[in-house]
Structure 1
Amino acid sequence: MTIDVPQEILDALTDVDMPRLPPETAPSGAVRLAGIEVPVYRAGCVVVGSGAAGLRAAVEMKRRGDDVVIVSQSAWGGTSACSGSDKQTLHTANTADQGDNYKAMARAICSGGAMDEDTAYVEAVGSSRMMASLQFLGLPLPQNPFGGTLRYQTDHDEVGRATSCGPRTSRLMVKVLAEEAIRLKVPFYNQTTAVKILTEGDRADRHVVGILVMRAGDRTEENPLGIALFVSGVIVLAAGGPGELYRDSVYPNGCFGSLGLALEAGVELVNLTESQFGIGTRREGFPWNLSGTYVQAIPHIYSLDAEGAEYHFLAEYYRSTQELASNVFRKGYQWPFHATRMLDFGSSLVDLAIYRETAAGRRVFMDFNRNPLPVSGDLPFSLERLDDDVRLYLGNADAGQQMPIDRLKHMNPLAIELYRRYKIDIAEQPLEFAVNNQHMNGGIMVDTWGRSNLRGCYAVGEAAGTHGVTRPGGAALNTGQVFGTRAAEHISASSKAKQAAGEDITATASAGIIALLGALHTESPLAVKSIRSEIQARMSDRAGIICDEEGVSSALIEARKLNAEIRNKGVAYGRAAEAVRGVQWRHMALASEAVLAALDFFIRNGGGSRGARAICDAQGESLPLAHSGPLQEYRFRKERQAHREEQIVVWLDGDEIRLSTRRNRMFDEGAKSFFERDWPAWLTGGIYDLEADE
């Protein structure tokens, strides 16, 4: 049996056109600040970022009558619109063919530890509503003839809660939410980069009063950098993750996130040690995760050296052809690298092998026109000689075709169509790939309403550090939708964004502009290109999937030195666009130091291997084995159970990164709601805990 999907359907799910932005609303006026004529925009709330999470927050606020605007560095240019977010993990009535359990889903979401149990439950309960509302807006989530949602198993998901519209799932989400935001007349400000959060007050009374941006549309002779002021007492940070941190990255180019921006404003971050790494195509071409059916088709994986000699390198790691092929397949739903899966000849041994080939200067490829070559001395590849879970899956999918490309065409023709759009025909040529950084699981520390420690500042999507150590693949898309809605509900209940802010913050804004300009020097020896190269090489080489105490410690010392130099000498720029990048790389340098400080703190306090990284140690308890023998160089520490129960908090105190730990928030599964008792808290807004903001 072969799936015969008309080309026009494949095209519609692959070529997703985004809506045209409406004309921008003019500023309310202008004011002279720090010697510059600065346009002033006023809003009840400013959402920073135009991805799926930010759009959801804006749409939900606008529906509730709030005055909200969206500022975006590049509308439809972020990870949710451009990257490989191909699934959404949800509570579905069709799960395991017998319904689902919110508490069970919450336990699965936070099973890796270092995550708040109440957050996991909020995400689980909210997922049904998010799915239904996205379907209402037009997201074509697939169903069976009885209305059940089609689902499948994904990373860290033993039940099968993922569903998908194909490889462009997240882009389709952005499309329907953007169309709704435009229909509701939410103002957009594109080519607008947030560069400084403005605050007033002290300690517990410190609160947001506005945000400085750089806008191409506001550049004039009087204001060559296009600095503009948004006056607002509420901001929602939804600018995604720090994609530029790593050289080896599957993020689209230009994804800086807002961690440095937040640190600079005194916002506390959490879980910066936790990221996701996995196989994907390089960002120099078309960055995309190679999970799901790309590897479940079981292509041949090989490497080439500088002379073009080919290496069947996985045969050095696995003991049999069956073991090798089965673990390539398992990368489909065990996509992220996880240290423990390097043991017992598991699927992350594939990641380690690819990492080592790349480090040795070889290029790694997938060939969909060849089945895996045999392990030396063993039988050739056969669909009849695969592990039971692999044979069962391929059997259920009717994927018994002889060649990987035919299995891929049958199971997921969209996977082939997607690369063709970027001039890569994987039906005809091998696909080059590597192990890349893909997602930041940590970020801004928030409560169950998306509030940060800075009053008036919320964070949603990948900007928020809600994920813990592991998360089911696709859960991040759901989390952004749930917390975008939660933040909007809380902001609306506070009534702080019902109308545009009218405060006079000229003194604060002037001081902010002086500080901003003081960090940019046309004559500085520190150029954006050199800062970028230094940060990305350091992060990829010493804070990727393989780490050790000495390497992380020395990387942290170098990161501190770079930030000291930036503070003393500023960042060089020529054109105005380079000034924007200069600010962003200053923020990225700060975020890099924060990540390394958290990782160094974790390792020095006995932190072991989990989630993103293997912490290598000659005295480590865990030793990966390969067909060629023990991999002594990669002996690693085990995770300590106590570290699952806490999170590392990071903040900036003057010029110093500070760190502490806090216990995970708990959720009482035995607690029960009672209608008559609990309804008044809903009616009066008591559920929002607004007193904490007063």
Structure 2
Amino acid sequence: MPAPIDQSILDALTDVDMPRLPPEPAPGGAVKVAGHRIPVHTSGAIVLGSGAAGLRAAVEMTRRGIDVAVLTQSAWGGTSACSGSDKQTLHTANTADRGDNYRAMARAIRAGGAMDEDTAYIEAVGSGRAMASLQYLGLPLPQDAYGGTLRYQTDHDETGRATSCGPRTSRLMVKVLAEEAIRLGVAIFNQTTGVRIIEGTDGPDGILTVRAKDRAEANPWGLALFRAPVIVLAAGGPGELYRDSVFPNGCFGALGLALEAGLDLVNLTESQFGIGTRREGFPWNLSGTYVQAMPHIYSVDEEGTEHPFLAAYYRTTRELASNIFRKGYQWPFHASRMLDFGSSLVDLAIYREGELGRRVFMDFNRNPLPVPGDQPFSLSRLDADVSDYLTTAGAVQDRPIDRLRHMNPLSIELYRRYKIDIAAEPLEFAVNNQHMNGGIAVDIWGRSSRPGIYAVGEAAGTHGVTRPGGSALNAGQVFGTRVAEHIAATGRAQPPDGAVPVAELARAVARIGAIANPKSALKINDVKREVQARMSERAGLFCTPSGVTGALTEARALTAEIRGQGIAPGRAAELGRVVQWQQMALVSEAVLTALDFYISHGGGSRGARAICDPAGSRVPEGRSGPLDAYRFREEGAGDRDEQITLSLSGDAFAVTTRPNRALDEHRRAFFERDWPAWLTGAIYRGNGA
């Protein structure tokens, strides 16, 4: 039995202090536009977002001699720094006990479909470099006595390529990358909300922002212009899109900004949903050891009566407990896993309890109750994969809390930091939106459809339908580096020395003035409630064709209403929020447009959600028989081979499909033949097809 871990070690991996921001550089001048005296900053490149992917891009560009400005709404306040799970995963090639096969890893990354084969291979090949560089910066990834990285299995991962520093892995990644960025002298502008990309003569000229600290009598809105010919969008996903969400509050992402700049978006139909604690308290994903400890899951109705509701879905206590365990490495909802009494039947059951108005809890001091008529829970009566895992881990204690404490004491410490003691009281949770797998369409170098604009991290739509848990963290590091390499090779990232494009800037200022209309009947909270309720209730993990079509009609009406009358800011400080909610309404319409297109063309159920249809060919079953209300369409095999792309054309969306980019797995690099392409920079001049 291993010795207890000293509290100081647990504290160091749970309470991760972030570095102090350096002073911001002063603007180089100002420009007067429409009664606003707008400060102007210049740099070679702008990174919008201060998460792990954005900071990687900033660090790598700075190392290559590029003058970079990082713009962030809230430094160290995004999903990278504030989200996670039991032992948050970094998914990289397995070097613990054998060299990995990159082609096999690429096939695993893209296995869910709607993902470019070349992108998956790039993520696989680049994973070793990404992990090693993070370790060099001080990321404390665990090793064995021989130097191998400790590994485990995560969702959509049959090989065991996952590793972790604990629940704060991505925060620790942000910490070491932020420290390196500060050491290198990267300019970081905090409390800076990007609201509009400004066009230049042959690409972007910069980003117009809202900054409270720049508000003055001559600049009442607090506008600031950051000029650069290269922009890297790394502001994460649209966390505010759903009411039932595990994103930290205030995560808007940059998809609305991208749409208004004319960028192509892709795979907006694909998200991830899974169990987690609600954002009203401490939002956190309940994957991994939280459920592998097999706590008792129950609901409470309005009268306070407990309901062990999972017993109505599984046939035996063994089947029930084993599938609670499997939620650990099959955490995201997947329609096919509702079948054959699989682990996503747990998600369906939780969702139905919520529809009944019941609150759902897990109790770590009680084992799962028996299914009526069956034997009580016993560690000796579990499916073989579950029993083998727990035995190997040494997690054979009597109570869930003791099994959890043995496997992952950090997971208990984390909730204690937020005044929730899961060792003493049950934990309330629900099924929530967690990740946007779609986003800005990019090529193999992270380039968007517009020259000079790149996207990395969750902002980039590279993940396809499903992905191994933790591969998104790896993708952000790999493509953050590749973006920097490509930008440096092009030589484009030179601080602009020409005149400010005043006419374009004036149009952007006028647009903001039209949106932020004090006389509008629409308030920020009105838009927020409408968008979030519609997305959670009709575009969540269960939806119907008619429900999506109806939701799209309503979303179009809302965006038209905003175009017509704007949104009223409650005070001057809400100007940035007004624009963000206008853009979030636009993103909502875009997602529903893509989803309606997919469903109306026969699209079926897969990773993101189940398309419920009375004519569907698949139906989940509970212990008492078919759950026919959740009969769903099966995924069409051909849908995995293509992606849905979308762009804004005027006030409407243009939607089409394209096939996944292919990778010739039979092609092999040859040193003497291929070295010249590297030496001459020819590798950077391809179109990524």
TM-score, structure 1 normalization: 0.98
| Corresponding position of 2:255 | 259
| 1:492 match: secondary structure | helix
Amino acid at match of 1:385: R
1:253-274, CA deviations, whole angstroms, 9 ceiling, x for partnerless residues?
A: 0000000110011000000000
Amino acid at match of 1:127: S
Aligned length: 686
1:319-342, CA deviations, whole angstroms, 9 ceiling, x for partnerless residues?
A: 010000000000000000000000
| Corresponding position of 1:192 | 192
| Corresponding position of 1:566 | 562
Q: CA deviation at 1:503?
A: 4.3
CA contact (8 A) 2:641 2:659 kept: yes
Q: CA deviation at 1:690?
A: 6.8
CA distance in 1, matches of 2:678, 2:504: 37
CA contact (8 A) 2:152 2:162 kept: yes
CA contact (8 A) 1:620 1:637 kept: yes
The yes-or-no answer on 1:547 pairing with 2:534 is no
| Corresponding position of 2:91 | 89
CA distance in 2, matches of 1:427, 1:598: 44
Q: CA deviation at 1:225?
A: 1.4
CA RMSD of aligned residues (A): 1.0
CA distance in 1, matches of 2:498, 2:687: 23
CA distance in 2, matches of 1:90, 1:646: 26
CA contact (8 A) 2:555 2:588 kept: yes
Amino acid at match of 1:130: A
| Corresponding position of 2:656 | 660
CA distance in 2, matches of 1:209, 1:188: 19
Q: CA deviation at 1:498?
A: 4.0
| Corresponding position of 1:639 | 635
CA contact (8 A) 2:229 2:495 kept: no
| 2:604 match: secondary structure | coil
CA distance in 2, matches of 1:574, 1:656: 29
Amino acid at match of 1:241: G
CA contact (8 A) 1:365 1:433 kept: yes
Q: CA deviation at 1:504?
A: 2.8
| Corresponding position of 2:397 | 401
CA contact (8 A) 1:608 1:637 kept: yes
| Corresponding position of 1:20 | 20
**CA 1:214–1:237 in structure 2 vs 1: closer, same or farther (change >3 Å)?**
same
The ranges of structure 1 where at least 4 consecutive aligned residues each deviate by more than 3 angstroms after the TM superposition are: 498-503
CA contact (8 A) 1:42 1:502 kept: no
| 2:428 match: secondary structure | strand
Q: CA deviation at 1:2?
A: 4.6
1:428-455, CA deviations, whole angstroms, 9 ceiling, x for partnerless residues?
A: 0000000000000000000010000011
| Corresponding position of 1:649 | 645
| Corresponding position of 2:674 | 678
Q: CA deviation at 1:566?
A: 0.2
Q: CA deviation at 1:223?
A: 1.3
CA contact (8 A) 1:231 1:501 kept: no
Alignment partner of 1:360 out of 356, 377, 383: 356
CA distance in 2, matches of 1:168, 1:607: 37
CA contact (8 A) 2:94 2:160 kept: no
| Corresponding position of 1:161 | 161
CA contact (8 A) 2:154 2:162 kept: yes
| Corresponding position of 1:627 | 623
| Corresponding position of 1:369 | 365
| Corresponding position of 1:76 | 76
CA distance in 1, matches of 2:449, 2:687: 14
**Structure 1: runs of 5 or more not aligned:** none
**CA 1:171–1:691 in structure 2 vs 1: closer, same or farther (change >3 Å)?**
closer
Q: CA deviation at 1:661?
A: 0.2
| Corresponding position of 1:49 | 49
Amino acid at match of 2:134: L
Amino acid at match of 2:94: T
Identity of matched residues, %: 69
Q: CA deviation at 1:576?
A: 2.1
CA distance in 2, matches of 1:372, 1:2: 27
CA distance in 2, matches of 1:424, 1:66: 45
Q: CA deviation at 1:294?
A: 0.2
| Corresponding position of 2:7 | 7
Q: CA deviation at 1:500?
A: 5.1
1:94-141, CA deviations, whole angstroms, 9 ceiling, x for partnerless residues?
A: 2xx333100000000000000000000000000000000000000000
Q: CA deviation at 1:502?
A: 4.1
Q: CA deviation at 1:579?
A: 1.3
The yes-or-no answer on 1:136 pairing with 2:136 is yes
CA distance in 2, matches of 1:265, 1:681: 33
**CA 1:470–1:691 in structure 2 vs 1: closer, same or farther (change >3 Å)?**
closer
Alignment partner of 1:525 out of 521, 528, 545: 521
The yes-or-no answer on 1:219 pairing with 2:221 is no
CA contact (8 A) 1:14 1:418 kept: yes
Q: CA deviation at 1:677?
A: 1.2
TM-score, structure 2 normalization: 0.99
1:271-310, CA deviations, whole angstroms, 9 ceiling, x for partnerless residues?
A: 0000000000000000000000000000000000111000
CA distance in 2, matches of 1:161, 1:326: 22
| Corresponding position of 2:147 | 147
Q: CA deviation at 1:510?
A: 1.6
Amino acid at match of 1:485: T
| 1:366 match: secondary structure | strand
Amino acid at match of 1:93: T
CA distance in 2, matches of 1:359, 1:461: 33
**CA 1:501–1:45 in structure 2 vs 1: closer, same or farther (change >3 Å)?**
farther
| 1:447 match: secondary structure | coil
Please identify, of 498-507 and 336-345, the stretch whose mean Cα deviation from structure 2 is larger. Answer: 498-507
| 2:225 match: secondary structure | strand
CA distance in 2, matches of 1:208, 1:22: 27
CA distance in 2, matches of 1:397, 1:498: 54
| Corresponding position of 1:388 | 384
Superposed counterparts of 1:491-502, under 5 Å: 491-499=487-495, 502=498
| 1:47 match: secondary structure | strand
The yes-or-no answer on 1:618 pairing with 2:614 is yes
**Structure 2: runs of 5 or more not aligned:** none
CA contact (8 A) 2:299 2:308 kept: yes
Please identify, of 489-498 and 383-392, the stretch whose mean Cα deviation from structure 2 is larger. Answer: 489-498
CA distance in 2, matches of 1:458, 1:691: 14
